[in-house]
Amino acid sequence: MACAFLEHPSSLEHDTGAYSAGASSILHPEHSRRITVIERELSAQGWLGFDRVRTPAVDRSVLRAVHPEPYITSIERACRSGGTFLDDDTVVGERSFEAALHAVGGAVRMVDLLLDGDASAAFSSHRPPGHHALPSHAMGFCLFNNIAVAARYALDARRLERVMIIDWDVHHGNSTNHIFHTSRQVLFVSIHQSPLFPFTGHASDVGQGEGAGFTVNLPVPAGAGDQVWVSLVEHVVVPLAYAFEPQLVLISAGYDAHRDDPLADCAVTTEGFAAMTRAIARACAHLAAPIGAVLEGGYALGALGRSVAATLQALSTEPAPAAASPAVAVTPIAHQARTRLAEFWLQLPAGPRPARSHRSRTGPRA
Ligand SMILES: [Zn+2]
């Protein structure tokens, strides 16, 4: 079974324009060349064995499960009228609505391909990104929350009971955090630089009500690099996956934690993204949980192309057997997170054993 790379040309037509900066103008950082460099890099590497899939626009009724119709209509009107600034840095042009519908459509189609067994792993490569877009409020370059709609679809239409979303974009996925805040069907785990836009995602935000413990925020300081990020994945994210036993794992794959990125101050390398992907893919293989990634941010063009390729390479490689103990040391940040999480996850397992946490199940397993 091949892996799938989901794409649509409308991603190139979402025109975010340029800022004026004195006498000159600077391209908006979230511009169409982000998609071009990814495709150029993958093309140079023979698409790494991925089948290219042209995505449909999302069905409006599927989109409405997260975004109310009046909001969808307001975005449609803003685009049809020629485009405008929705806030200081979120811009739409005439073709942005189509691009946004296909960006969500890519994530939703990816879920179908994975759950139907038509793809062994997948990457949905579209713009605009999604994880900041609240149900009725565009923000942070995002119009609709692509990954949240896909997760909602997996629960509602595909009848899954446990979906895990891992968000490694350098910015906190505030919208995904918000949408599933009271749900125990979605385990949302975010690693992000803090403080940084959107200034949410504190470690103390663990979800609410029934969902307490199913939101896991792992803020890291500026300067954090591979050691910190990969350690958090190996020693916190992967053990959480073994405890939660998701039926589907979705990655909010932003690449702005890269050391070259102009919008943040972390120091992850291309190999760091590969290592995080390998660790998650290995857990997914043990759990028989399909894995798919959805493009979020990433604004250093060369680093973005190479890091997406590294992710695809890791997704398409047969995972190595789980080591008795991961090669990456437990950093103090990972240790503190494990201690914090003990309130909800009694014992984070080191390997692929069923967890005994009282909060690890949401009902009978499918
Ligand atoms: Zn970001």
Highest mean pLDDT among 74-83, 312-321, 325-334, 338-347: 74-83
- Is the separation of the CB atoms in 253 and 261 below 8 Å? no
Annotated catalytic residue 132: yes
Q: State the pLDDT at residue 352.
A: 59
Q: State the pLDDT at residue 319.
A: 76
Beta strands 83-85 and 91-93, pairing class: antiparallel
Please name which of 241, 248, 317 lies closest in space to residue 277, comparing C-alpha atoms.
317
pLDDT confidence tier of residue 22, bands split at 50, 70 and 90: confident
**Residue 271 confidence (pLDDT) above 80:** yes
**Residue 360 confidence (pLDDT) above 90:** no
Q: State the pLDDT at residue 324.
A: 53
Q: State the pLDDT at residue 357.
A: 44
Count the residues in the chain. 366
Residues 234-258 pLDDT 10s: 999 999 999 999 999 999 999 999 9
Distance CA 327, CA 330 (A): 9
**Residue 274 confidence (pLDDT) above 60:** yes
Q: Comparing 14-18, 50-54, 195-199, 344-348, which segment has the lowest mean pLDDT?
A: 344-348
Residues that place a CB less than 5 A from ion ligand 1:
169, 171, 254, 256, 297
Distance (angstroms) between ligand 1 centre and the Cα of 132 equals: 9
Distance (angstroms) between ligand 1 centre and the Cα of 297 equals: 4
Distance CA 177, CA 131 (A): 9
Distance (angstroms) between ligand 1 centre and the Cα of 330 equals: 25
Distance (angstroms) between ligand 1 centre and the Cα of 99 equals: 19
Q: State the pLDDT at residue 26.
A: 86
Across the chain, mean pLDDT equals 93
Distance (angstroms) between ligand 1 centre and the Cα of 5 equals: 21
pLDDT confidence tier of residue 16, bands split at 50, 70 and 90: very high
List the catalytic residue out of 132, 172, 192, 235.
Answer: 132
Residues 126-183 pLDDT 10s: 999 999 999 999 999 999 999 999 999 999 999 999 999 999 999 999 999 999 999 9
Highest mean pLDDT among 16-30, 270-284, 325-339: 270-284
**Residue 89 confidence (pLDDT) above 50:** yes
Distance CA 275, CA 237 (A): 13
Sign of CA dihedral 257, 348, 287, 179: negative
**Residue 366 confidence (pLDDT) above 80:** no
Percentage with pLDDT > 70 across the chain: 93
Please enumerate in sequence order all residues whose Cβ is within 8 A of that of 213, keeping only pairs 6 or more positions apart, or say none.
Answer: 184, 206, 207, 341, 343, 344, 345, 359
Please name which of 166, 276, 148 lies closest in space to residue 218, comparing C-alpha atoms.
166
Mean pLDDT of all residues in 28-53: 97
β-bridge partners, 123: 5, 293
